[in-house]
Structure 1
Amino acid sequence: MPLTPPATLPEPSPTHIHWLEAGLPCSARWRSERGSKPAQRVVLADDTTPADSAYKMSCEGTALLWRGDFQNARHLLQAMARRADQVSPRKRQKMTPPVSLLDALNQHRQSQARRARLLGMLLIEVNADYSIGLRRAPDSQAALTEAWGAPDLAGGKSVVSLRELLGIRSAHEWQRVGLEIPALGASPHNRIYPHYGVFSPVRGEYIQLLATAHIPKPPKGQQQLTAFDIGTGTGVLAAVLARRGVGHIVATDTDSRALACARANIMQLGLEQQISIVQADLFPPGLASLIVCNPPWLPLRPGSPLERAVYDEDGRMLGGFLQGLRAHLAPKGEGWLILSNLAELLGLRTRDALLAQFEHNGLRVVSRIDAKPLHPKADDASDPLHEARAKEVTSLWRLAALPVPNA
């Protein structure tokens, strides 16, 4: 099939994508979890499309709507990825070496964003019932239902990038198989099932910190401890607290996917009598003797909605947690802040600034427990941030309210 030339079509819309097929104008709903806008130029491509041509057009901003074999589309995407990752000797000579770790981070993020944009130009059409009408296309209906919600049969077809579709399928597999969390006890009742768009607890060091820190005693006259888990995500930290004997836990989040994921995980673990899942911006009403928060570790703007679990623009969640912690702590209660020093190593925050935040919000440090990274990137010398990752330390800060002057 020859590539169809771009043509004048209706004005671009953030919700729909337009193209010509057999000389007729076509359109479909545009879906992008990354928040990418639909391409203004779309051509048809199939099994005869050379990888070099596909890559060249993606660099020029032209999207390719696939009309061939699904598995061949995957092979083409892999070929495009190899080209995106290649750096020509001439381009390498022009590249400015990073002068700092922060500079390296910015270059890395720009490179990853460019790569995602280029590879996102290979598109797949999805039917209204979430089936895919291509040869050898896998059954993706369950995965797409988890990511997009129940299909609207009257809503027509959708178009999504193949790269994003494969990510949705990968997340579906995570949700199906789950992730073993040793801190939750013996198998088979120690698995967490991340949903699409919810940060997966693959880094075990912060969970282990929570699993081993000394839990404060219940207030005098109370039989059980009340805890808050702020920004619960999958619900994994709330579940660990429950398995450690905390009697009542309120886990909060603002994201609907996270709330649904946490509820499902708490139910399958049989902990719904101990844990309540509440939609709230940080703190729920009331006081707690233990308040836990594991905010995104880097105070930078997310490049897409899916990066909000990693990047906390201007440190808003961290600042909001510290600002409201004292008012929600029961007498003699503790706030546990789980935070990596990666932001400090990258020059995004200083240790003195963090300590000043504690003091400014009427908090003192009871103690700090540290853990070295366990993830593979810490040992990957080819990672552009290896120098920082190798020195990274994740800490659990035990915080308590400072005495009120003249109280």
Structure 2
Amino acid sequence: MKQIIIIGGGAAGFFCASNLDEKKYRITILEQNSDVLQKVKISGGGRCNVTHACFDPRELVQFYPRGNKELLSVFTKFQPGDTMEWFDQRNVPLKIENDNRVFPESNSSQTIINTFLNEIRNKKAEIKTKCSVKEIEKQGEQYLVKTSLGDFQADYIVYTTGSSPKSLKIIENLGHKIVDLVPSLFTFNIKDQLLQDIPGTSFENAEISIPKLKTEESGPLLITHWGLSGPAVLKISAWEAISLAQSKYHFEIEVNFISRSVDDAEEIFQSFRQAHPKKTIGQSKIFDITNRFWQKILEVSKVDLNKQISNISGKEIQNILENLCRKKLQVTGKSTFKDEFVTAGGIDLKEINFKNMSSKILPNFYIAGEVLNIDAVTGGFNFQACWSEGWLISQDLNNLEI
């Protein structure tokens, strides 16, 4: 029997192992932490956002700032529908939420972890935790994996370590080119009077742009203690991860809190003013925003809350609309989004054969997961890439003539 060593006990490594033919291979998983599947455990606030209900590969790749071209062929072979069917066959019911994110019906990531551990047990695969890989040496047809728990011989290696600098160094020493790591999916640190004292204020659909980079995103937005977060911010941080790292996270953004043009907003304001001339501006519910935020807008626009709306001057209206629809804010840093740390960068994609996720440089060596220069926006997409890549590797290994 041939020996497969899977280095990294995360999503991609476990999905690959779960689909391997145990009659053909001895399978050993090496994990440097004391627990396997740690990211699966904390994903989706402990519920595990398994995948995203997007079943057209061409649409699906639009959620990947890096790797979208390469993943198209991968997703035509295994996509979210296949993931859902895979769990269904193992009696794990999944549910699609309103925003198309997919979770186990149990609302517990432990359900997903137990499913994998069960599959691995059935395949008599061995899991070695607290096993830190120091070096990999090519020895003829085989590989010698040197670890903190001794040396392992491997006929095939599946490298699914995640994006730790140490694991990238190991594979760089074997001849692979590494694209520098930068954070992706982060929130913006902003100190501005408009955002002060109102954390937790959210907007269902805001628009955010970075004028210098000529880029914009829309979606839900959230004011936090340190600045701005929410899907709109996370999306723009992922797409512009490299440019924003180069700017050392100091840049200007423009926010439209109500997703309406200044002209549209002015029309809404004027028609409200005609209908309710005697109302005070502070008590007027003109736009779909919270009272706290409206009063903050008026404060920043230097408008007296007790003024009747009919007495608001043209200049005051313009100030209000500028702050609502075209507010410029200075970003002075970033904060990691929860514990679900995602990086851009990793192994150069030109060196991977995406038909089977094999290395073009190292024979009998497969690579998947976040160690590659592939990343996605939040919503189950990073896991889907892991499942699809892990599945391709297992199918290729299962079909080898040994």
TM-score (norm 1): 0.24
TM-score (norm 2): 0.24
Q: Comparing both chains, which one has the higher relative contact order based on Cα–Cα distances under 8 Å and sequence gaps of 6 or more?
A: 2
Please state which structure has a larger fraction of its residues in strand: 2
